[in-house]
């Protein structure tokens, strides 16, 4: 399979959605599906789907459609979900704890190795067996535990500083929930989840309808 190296952000963002729909179908015993059926379920056009899949070398067979479990496995591989990724969460408040409690991420290979906080009342506690450590040992923990991803659940004012410390210690991806546009070097992957912005967009739409 040849992968086009200039795959657009929009295509990349659709991949997890394909994965979700296909995983559901696999679970429900669907063995194969045409791009037209898939397009009906997902609300995309069939040609869009074929185009998207062609970015990754294409997966279908003319006249047969897609083999659901093969396609699942292929997308899982493309998304890197077939590898284990060691993760830490910075900020053990409500959101950090909610993410630590969610077991779904672990099923896809994201293994949460620890949480970090500055609050002495939280340090030493454990959430679902995941220990909360003092932020002071952040750098050595990252190196010692081969941590690849950091999840930022700190207040806004600490988020960039924590990002910088993680990047310096070799972390290659940042999942940021703090309401800042975190800055990272080019070789570090970043996803911002700005919940307030989603809520305000919803508010706009509600008032606009």
Give the integer Cα–Cα distance in Å for 201 and 206.
9
Among 79, 118, 123, 125, contact with a copy of itself (rule: CB under 8 A)? 79
Among 80, 119, 137, 170, contact with a copy of itself (rule: CB under 8 A)? 80
Between 13 and 121, CB nearer to a copy of itself:
13
Tell me: does residue 2 bind a copy of itself (CB under 8 A).
Answer: no
CB of 204 to a copy of itself, least distance (A): 5
Among 102, 124, 140, 146, contact with a copy of itself (rule: CB under 8 A)? 102
CB of 168 to a copy of itself, least distance (A): 17
Residue among 42, 110, 178 nearest 100 (CA):
110
- Interface region with a copy of itself, contact rule CB under 8 A, candidates 11-19, 46-54, 117-125, 138-146: 11-19
Between 140 and 197, CB nearer to a copy of itself:
197
Q: Which two tokens stand for residue 81?
A: 């979900």
Q: Which of residues 148-167 bind a copy of itself (CB under 8 A)?
A: 148-149
Tell me: does residue 83 bind a copy of itself (CB under 8 A).
Answer: yes
CB of 200 to a copy of itself, least distance (A): 4
Tell me: does residue 194 bind a copy of itself (CB under 8 A).
Answer: yes
CA distances from 99 to 61, 87, 96, 114, 131 (A): 39, 11, 5, 12, 14
Give the integer Cα–Cα distance in Å for 75 and 48.
16
Between 24 and 136, CB nearer to a copy of itself:
24
Residues contacting 76, CB < 8 A, separation 6+: 19, 82, 108
Residues contacting 88, CB < 8 A, separation 6+: 112, 113, 114, 115, 116, 138, 141, 142, 145, 147, 149, 150, 151
Count of residues of this chain found to bind a copy of itself when the rule CB under 8 A is applied: 54
Residues near a copy of itself, by CB under 8 A: 12-13, 15-17, 19-20, 43, 78-81, 83, 85, 94-95, 97-98, 101-102, 104-105, 108, 110, 148-149, 172-173, 175, 179, 181, 186-191, 193-209
């Amino acid at each position: 399979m040849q992968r086009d190296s200039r795959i657009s952000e929009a295509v990349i963002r659709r991949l997890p959605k394909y994965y979700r729909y296909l995983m559901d179908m696999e679970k429900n015993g669907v063995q194969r599906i045409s791009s037209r059926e898939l397009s009906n379920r997902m609300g995309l056009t069939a040609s869009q789907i074929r185009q998207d899949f062609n970015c990754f070398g294409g997966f279908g067979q003319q006249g047969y459609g897609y083999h659901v479990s093969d396609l699942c496995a292929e997308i899982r591989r493309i998304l890197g979900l077939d590898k284990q990724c060691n993760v830490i969460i910075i900020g053990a408040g409500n959101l950090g704890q909610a993410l630590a409690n969610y077991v779904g991420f672990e099923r896809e290979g994201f293994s949460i190795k620890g949480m970090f906080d500055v609050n002495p009342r939280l340090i030493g506690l454990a959430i679902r067996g995941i220990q909360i450590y003092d932020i002071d040992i952040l750098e050595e923990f990252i190196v010692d535990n081969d941590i690849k991803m950091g999840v930022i659940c700190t207040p806004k004012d600490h988020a960039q500083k924590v990002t910088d410390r993680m990047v310096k210690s070799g972390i290659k991806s940042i999942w940021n929930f703090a309401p800042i546009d975190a800055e990272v070097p080019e070789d570090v992957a970043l996803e911002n989840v700005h919940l307030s912005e989603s809520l305000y967009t919803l508010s706009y739409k509600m008032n606009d309808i």
